[in-house]
Amino acid sequence: MQYILVDIAEREHFYPFTLTQSLASCRVGIFTFQERWEQYLKESCGIYTAPYLQGLYKDSAFLKSNESLLFINVASIPTEELVDSLKALKEGEKLMTAGGKWIATKTTERNISKILLTDTPPLIFDKVSFVLNQLQLLSTHAKFIERDFKWVAAHGVSAPIDPSNNVINKEHIFIEEGASVLCSNLNASDGFIYIGNESIVMEGTSIRGSFAIGKKGVVKMNTSIYGTTTIGPYCLAGGEIKNSIVMGYSNKGHEGYLGDSIVGHWCNIGAGTCNSNIKNTAGDIQMWNEYKQEWESVGQKMGMLVGDYSRFAIQSSINTGSYIGVSANIFGNGLLPKNLPNFTWGIIPGYQLDKAVEDIINWKKLKGFTMTEAEKLVLKHLHQLNHH
């Protein structure tokens, strides 16, 4: 049976991150949504997403095949019980919650509306949780790290912790082979700490769980990390970081505060840049919702959402509850505006596509990567939308 992870019904609720990739590729905790589903299903999964993003995924041949496939809502959180119910589906059957939220369909159909709206009455399954939007990625973050940590611990053995470190509750710390952690404070009394393959935690760093850092990530000297924090693969982390997700290949390498925020891929946060996560009045925070095209209340604590390929100049002051789009090159005096759309240059839209692509290629080169034609086409699509 071939499994296909579908984000088409959910992706608008995860902007700006799903503007440039499927939700399946987004990382929260140690793994991406796709990796987590593949662990439960014990099979590799295809990805079915918006047409302009489909070219990013080389395994799209299923769209032209006639075989029966199991299409799964990638925003549903996998459990053994859910997987058993999915595998029991017969051709043409659909799984939904009693409230009408789509979970999965087994079908030969490829038209998304026919996959979501089958002719047969649905089977009801209510023992399922969903990640509903990008803000919920932060609130469910600790659970994802705990689940991922336990999966890793069940499938491997931690490397020994170097005696130069000051360690509390070492049973909740897992260090992959090839990682280097020296002269640091590791406190796993309130959560789990995972140090990924070939990553480096430099001297003087203090980490309070839950925390996960991916492959070849680097935490620089004397960094303070607490709350629940994910630092994705090939990221640089420095300064003070709290309750945040940095998905991958991004840099926050210097002094400055990052809190209650999600940063996408290939971003750079300049030295001394800080974000606010609470208003001076401790009042309600309004944040731009790109999908609804309106401001909405997000509670008393919220930092920023930063789309892929966006960068901040040194000493940037980022306002409480800021929404930053894709490929923005941000600089400006004083508190920056709270809504900076895709392809912002400074604080106004106007970053030319050719220049944006050239700059991304330069940034990727710094980490030994190149930009694919498929990635360029995604940006071209978004740039054209911005100019209509």
pLDDT digits (tens, 9 = 90+) for 133-192: 999 999 999 999 999 999 999 999 999 999 999 999 999 999 999 999 999 999 999 999
Q: Are residues 128 and 142 in the same domain?
A: no
Helix (H, G, I), strand (E, B) or coil at 124: strand
pLDDT tens string 20-36: 999 999 999 999 999 99
Query: Nearest Cα to 190, choosing from 173, 175, 174, 204?
Result: 173
Which domain-ending residue is among 86, 102, 132?
132
**Cβ-proximal residues to 57 (8 Å cutoff; 6+ apart), any chain:** 22, 46, 47, 49
Per-residue pLDDT, 1: 60
Per-residue pLDDT, 172: 97
Q: Are residues 113 and 142 in the same domain?
A: no
The residue ranges of DSSP E strands in 200-272, in sequence order, are: 200-201, 206-208, 211-213, 218-219, 224-226, 229-231, 236-237, 240-242, 245-248, 251-252, 257-259, 262-265, 268-269
Which domain-ending residue is among 132, 155, 189?
132
Q: Are residues 188 and 220 in the same domain?
A: yes
Q: How many residues does the chain have?
A: 388
Query: Nearest Cα to 104, choosing from 62, 61, 64, 48?
Result: 48
**Cβ-proximal residues to 216 (8 Å cutoff; 6+ apart), any chain:** 196, 197, 198, 199, 233, 234
How far is it, in rounded angstroms, from Cα 58 to Cα 80? 28
Share of the chain above pLDDT 90, in %: 88
Query: Nearest Cα to 137, choosing from 26, 277, 19, 276?
Result: 26
To the nearest whole number, what is the mean pLDDT of the chain?
A: 94
Over residues 107-121, the mean pLDDT reads: 84
pLDDT tens string 48-63: 999 999 999 987 777 7
Its domain, for residue 193, covers 137-386
Angle (deg, nearest 10), helices 353-366 and 373-386 = 140
Over residues 82-102, the mean pLDDT reads: 91
Over residues 361-371, the mean pLDDT reads: 96
> Which two structure tokens, joined as six digits, stand for 193?
């700490």
Q: Are residues 325 and 344 in the same domain?
A: yes
Q: Are residues 267 and 248 in the same domain?
A: yes
Burial of 309 (0-12, 13-18, 19+ CB in 10 A): buried
pLDDT category at 387 given cuts 50, 70, 90 is low
Q: Are residues 112 and 199 in the same domain?
A: no
Q: Are residues 74 and 205 in the same domain?
A: no
Per-residue pLDDT, 308: 98
Q: State yes or no: pLDDT of 11 exceeds 80.
A: yes
Per-residue pLDDT, 118: 76
Per-residue pLDDT, 388: 60
How far is it, in rounded angstroms, from Cα 354 to Cα 280? 40
Query: Nearest Cα to 269, choosing from 197, 357, 363?
Result: 363
Per-residue pLDDT, 68: 87
Per-residue pLDDT, 41: 94
pLDDT tens string 271-304: 999 999 999 999 999 999 999 999 999 999 999 9
Over residues 319-328, the mean pLDDT reads: 97
Q: Are residues 15 and 44 in the same domain?
A: yes
- Which H or E run contains 139? helix 134-139
Q: Are residues 110 and 156 in the same domain?
A: no
Which domain-ending residue is among 97, 132, 167?
132
Over residues 336-340, the mean pLDDT reads: 96
Q: Are residues 57 and 159 in the same domain?
A: no
How far is it, in rounded angstroms, from Cα 356 to Cα 381? 13
Count how many domains the chain has. Answer: 2
Q: Are residues 261 and 290 in the same domain?
A: yes
Q: Are residues 48 and 144 in the same domain?
A: no
